[in-house]
Structure 1
């Protein structure tokens, strides 16, 4: 399957992907040079690029700003020699129509895959009307020129939470790539993965998954890296983790070791469990720090201006959170630099 902009197909790979923070200057304008630098840095670290998700403050951007960010990211990848690197872009909007429009614009700008969250404004109605909820995703997938990953994040969708039966139903859509589960429910992901990895499912969908992904697998991805090892044991295919903005090499190493370990390499599994201890700690620090804290960590550890500020209404960091980032992540940053 090819993007609408005419670029050759760039299939999505199993493994670690990172939802990038969108860097804003002091006047809240997008810093495109910093965005390009972060895209290139993460691609060189061997992780997938997810643009304009929750960490990317997509809801704070105008449609024109969103499209400009996609153009910047695609150009940064191509200029750095990553011409075959896929680019997943968050295209969720307040309605099915707006989401479809944003998805088409992202594809035109260079996105190869979309990640779509359910609109949360009418959660008081959609939370009860499950038919309307599923219809939203089906309409978007019907109209999208690129494969769609379902983004299940109750915290960012006013509590709307897809269950495994609903995800399994949506997985049968011919343009459904997978699901990101930021609901922290590994059992839900296991049920979805067991269904989509069955011989019967692959007989129905194997050909189109071979076109959309490197492994031909429906993507089941936790939204955290703190549980990556148990998630992989439960048939998940990787993770999409905001902590990867700071520690991409560490988390990529954790994934590689865990895959080897689960294939029978006892030494690799032992090392993966120790590394999972580190990531479980640092992941929670990043969660507590929030999006402004993630941006501050980028500025503090990686490069000044790479994170920038967050747009209102996200608040400013307290001295206590800054100290937590500077103190509690220092050892993990030293480890990241050693890789």
Structure 2
């Protein structure tokens, strides 16, 4: 899965002021990310406000991204949930021909045991006709997929090819890197620590901020992969304040404000999320304008 090395971006779903999907803005975001040099696009992840989209809206997002991409970059589709049978049913019925892999989050809210997590992803792997990227994000799921469980899954199922590791725990990431099968990819899911994980042996990042600053962020990741440490950290330190800001009042409210500041898309989010407040909007706006001058 060499196509998943480098920078993937977890695309937002832009909305108009009336909360309907803004497909024209989504096309602009896809083109902005591609032209900025990212390696692949992730569709319908958490950053897409997936939980607030109807089935028909999800189809609209998928169709828009596939058409806008025009085969230029690999696409990854978010297919996950806390109802294993429902996830399996989607994998068995959805047309996945346009996608290189699925990204499947560890079951949230229900807090399964490690054996429950293993059995969930066993079912997912057996149902999926394309490669599977595991997604560990304890801050959202309320359960941590431990390295032993990940390694067990990676060893037992050839089509489980990677993990998006978003625990924010570098030591846990190092345990994965130390014990993983040779070709299994450990992909960071945390913008601030992605470079550190890459330098420890990680394969890249699935990023939020990368879609707002695709050129500079993807260059940083490439420098890290090429072991050009000083240059890579120099870029990271120019972005750290904005990385903090885009998550300060929730994701994707922060990155949507970046797009508003860039004039690419509106900053509208759907409840229960709300827009960033005026103070944060001004700070993000100042950062964006300074970065572009």
Per the normalisation by structure 1, the TM-score is 0.80
Select 2:144's aligned residue among 161, 174, 192.
Answer: 161
- The CA deviation at 1:64 is 2.5
Aligned 8 A contact 2:138 2:144 in 1: yes
Give the Cα–Cα distance (whole angstroms) in 2 for the partners of residues 105 and 88 of structure 1.
17
Give the Cα–Cα distance (whole angstroms) in 2 for the partners of residues 64 and 248 of structure 1.
29
- Pairs aligned (count): 290
1:1-339 alignment to 2 at 5 Å?
A: 12-47=3-38, 48-78=40-70, 83=71, 85-104=73-92, 107-108=95-96, 110-123=98-111, 126=112, 129-157=113-141, 159-172=142-155, 173-196=157-180, 201-202=181-182, 217-260=183-226, 262=227, 268-290=228-250, 291-303=252-264, 306-334=265-293
Equivalent residue of 1:27, what SS? coil
Aligned 8 A contact 2:14 2:266 in 1: yes
Deviations 1:141-187 (A, max 9, x none): 11011111111111221x11111111111112121021111111122
- The CA deviation at 1:95 is 0.6
Give the Cα–Cα distance (whole angstroms) in 1 for the partners of residues 195 and 243 of structure 2.
14
Give the Cα–Cα distance (whole angstroms) in 1 for the partners of residues 259 and 150 of structure 2.
34
Aligned 8 A contact 2:44 2:77 in 1: yes
Q: 1:100 to 1:64 in 2, by over 3 A?
A: farther
Q: 1:231 to 1:86 in 2, by over 3 A?
A: same
Give the Cα–Cα distance (whole angstroms) in 1 for the partners of residues 91 and 34 of structure 2.
23
- The CA deviation at 1:11 is 6.0
Aligned 8 A contact 1:223 1:240 in 2: yes
Give the Cα–Cα distance (whole angstroms) in 2 for the partners of residues 239 and 91 of structure 1.
18
Q: 1:258 to 1:228 in 2, by over 3 A?
A: same
Aligned 8 A contact 2:106 2:145 in 1: no
- The CA deviation at 1:258 is 2.1
Aligned 8 A contact 1:225 1:243 in 2: yes
Deviations 1:184-224 (A, max 9, x none): 1122222222333xxxx34xxxxxxxxxxxxxx32211112
Give the Cα–Cα distance (whole angstroms) in 2 for the partners of residues 33 and 167 of structure 1.
39
Aligned 8 A contact 1:49 1:88 in 2: yes
Give the Cα–Cα distance (whole angstroms) in 2 for the partners of residues 104 and 285 of structure 1.
39
CA RMSD of superposed structures (Å): 2.0
Give the Cα–Cα distance (whole angstroms) in 2 for the partners of residues 106 and 174 of structure 1.
21
- The CA deviation at 1:289 is 4.0
Give the Cα–Cα distance (whole angstroms) in 2 for the partners of residues 152 and 29 of structure 1.
30
Name the counterpart of 1:207: none
Deviations 1:269-291 (A, max 9, x none): 32222112123332112111431
- The CA deviation at 1:298 is 0.2
Give the Cα–Cα distance (whole angstroms) in 2 for the partners of residues 278 and 226 of structure 1.
12
- The CA deviation at 1:227 is 2.0
Equivalent residue of 2:45, what SS? coil
Structure 2: gaps spanning 5 or more residues: none
Structure 1: gaps spanning 5 or more residues: 1-9, 203-216, 263-267, 335-339
Deviations 1:105-134 (A, max 9, x none): 5544722211111232322xx1xx321121
Q: 1:89 to 1:333 in 2, by over 3 A?
A: farther
Aligned 8 A contact 2:161 2:185 in 1: yes
Give the Cα–Cα distance (whole angstroms) in 2 for the partners of residues 181 and 283 of structure 1.
17
Aligned 8 A contact 2:245 2:280 in 1: no
